[in-house]
Chain A
Amino acid sequence: MSAERIYRLLLRAYPPDFRAEYEREMVLLFRDQCRESDVRTLGFWVRVIWDVVRSAPALRAEATRTVEVIMKLAAILTVLLGAYGILGAMNEWGAASQHAGTYVLAIVLGVAASLLLLGTGVGILLQKRQAARLALVASLVCFVAARLVFPWMSIFLQLIGFVLPLGLLIALYWPRKSSTLGAASIVLVGLAVPPLGRAQALPIGRWTGSAGPMDRPAAHPITFDVTAVGDSLQVMLHPDRGDDYRLDAIRLRGDTLGFTLLLAHALPPGDLPGGAHGVRCMLLRQGDRSYTGTCTGPDGMRSDLRMVPPGSTQAADTVRDLPLTAAQRQSFVGTYSVTLPMGGRDVLLVFEENGLLKAHSSHENRTGRLLYQGDGAFRPEGSNFVITFVFDSGRAKGFTGHREDGVMKGTRTQ
């Protein structure tokens, strides 16, 4: 075996990155040494081996330490953020009565993405770069899927979820040797992430809805135009009369949508904005994908607002689902003795659950939502008739319902 071959074997003691950078130069230098020394002497090889023994462990320790510190930090960050995101999703799942499947799927995907990120760290430490790259790409796929099924994910979590694996992927592919596959992967992921970030939970298009003072059931129809502008959403509110408004400081978290209304056009100098300018709204997502809630003006005046996304099967102008305040809801809560059209009897229990008014029929043993249509009228969810309440001292004392088979009447008993 030649001296150079033995030296090349000894060079394996150095870290791979160091060898990739300096192996050729070191072999050249070794050849120079061989030319000027007698390679057959013990002294020559003692010096060569002593040089390797003295320098290789230190370089290996440096390389490992750097990667180790980075991976420890990345692992701690991943675990903390993963736990934060998963706890947040579970919390929202507990608060929301619908979309359980979505939450479960998002949590599973989030756990998978976190585990794959940790696997990447292990792969890097074990110098299994190809396995680490695959784990990173898989974690990105899981995270993208989680983002698609769970569009309420926080911007912070999205940034970490996309940027951390993407950064590690670039670091792993960073070319000491040019890699077409590596470069293409980075470009593809880089191109895919920004549009995904733009994909918002509020569907693009023309939304319908209604707005009105809280104490007066009459609501005015309004429309919203949701458009994508660059990397963000722009939402414009168009009332049936008066000025247009722009939705500012839009915050979508869980089933809650918050924003502030600002006048869409600039006012002449000296003019003070009036109307709904500066009104802060907080809406809750409903089962039919619409949002209902209240808006509070700078003067404390409150009003109801409803937003119905485009393509909704329940258009706002056909079957309404107008918002009710807690006080309004309480005025209907109670037990009603009902006389059915064919002379039968029923007991209707009207109650409030998660801010929604619901009714339970003892006769049919069925519970459903009561959708407010305005003017004291409700449409039981899934039915084609309306019941209209009558009031006494601000409290519902009974109702009348016009069904296809006749009139039903209810009287409050409790």
Chain B
Amino acid sequence: MVTKRRVGKPESYLPLPPATFHILVALADGELHGYAIMKGVEARSEGSVRLGPGTLYGSLKRLLEAGLVEEGGERADPARGDERRRYYRLTPLGLSVVRAEARRLDAMVRAARRKKLIGERPA
């Protein structure tokens, strides 16, 4: 859970919960509304992570409070009708945090690979 804390080094926010990381990664593409975030996460995780409305907006609420995400205004998405939707985008701090988390995960994956835990089929 990302809790509100004093703005400090991006590393102080790590590790991120999986849902939070996926949301931040989705927002790295630019401003998105809730449904677009949900579909982006689902597609990127190849269906392994499915965020329901409660999980998504609960995470967004915490990310807004932590200053990692900000609202980008309300407007209609032409692809989804004329109802106005709230858009969200990464803050510079949010971008630093998601990069730091990606580096942390990358280091862990490389370590696992060196141990031959991934990257080749087990004997």
**Which residues does A use to contact B, with CB under 8 Å?**
14, 18, 21-22, 25-26, 28-30, 32-33, 47-48, 50-52, 54-56, 58-59
Contacts and interface: CB of A to CB of B under 8 A. Distances in A.
Given A32-B35, A32-B80, A47-B50, A25 B86 contact: yes
Contacts of A26: 34, 53-54, 57
Given A18-B61, A25-B86, A55-B58, A30 B53 contact: yes
A16 to B, nearest CB: 14
Contacts of A59: 54, 58, 61
Closest 3 CB pairs of A and B: A51-B52, A55-B54, A26-B53
Given A25-B57, A29-B35, A59-B54, 10 more contacts: A21-B61, A25-B86, A32-B80, A47-B52, A48-B52, A51-B52, A52-B54, A54-B54, A59-B58, A59-B61
B49 to A, nearest CB: 12
Interface in B28-42: 34-35, 38
A29 B61 contact: no
Which secondary structure characterizes the binding site on chain B?
Answer: helix
Contact of B52 (A25, A55, A58): A55
20 contacts: A14-B54, A22-B57, A25-B57, A26-B34, A26-B57, A28-B35, A28-B85, A47-B50, A48-B52, A51-B51, A51-B53, A51-B54, A51-B55, A52-B52, A52-B54, A54-B54, A54-B55, A59-B54, A59-B58, A59-B61
A111 to B, nearest CB: 37
Nearest to B38: A29
Which secondary structure characterizes the binding site on chain A?
Answer: helix
Contact of B85 (A25, A50, A51): A25
Nearest to B35: A32
A244 B58 CA distance: 68
B46 interface: no
A392 to B, nearest CB: 78
B83 interface: yes
B50 to A, nearest CB: 7
B62 to A, nearest CB: 8
Nearest to A66: B4
Interface string B10-45: 000000000000000000000000110010000000
Contacts of B35: 28-29, 32
A58 B61 CA distance: 12
Given A18-B61, A32-B80, A25 B54 contact: no
Contacts of B50: 47
A170 B61 CA distance: 22
A90 B72 CA distance: 58
B102 interface: no
Given A47-B52, A51-B52, A29 B58 contact: no
Contacts of A32: 35, 80
Interface string B63-79: 00000000000000000
B56 interface: yes
Contact of B34 (A25, A47, A52, A54): A25
Contacts of B34: 25-26, 28-29
A316 B1 CA distance: 73
A307 B85 CA distance: 71
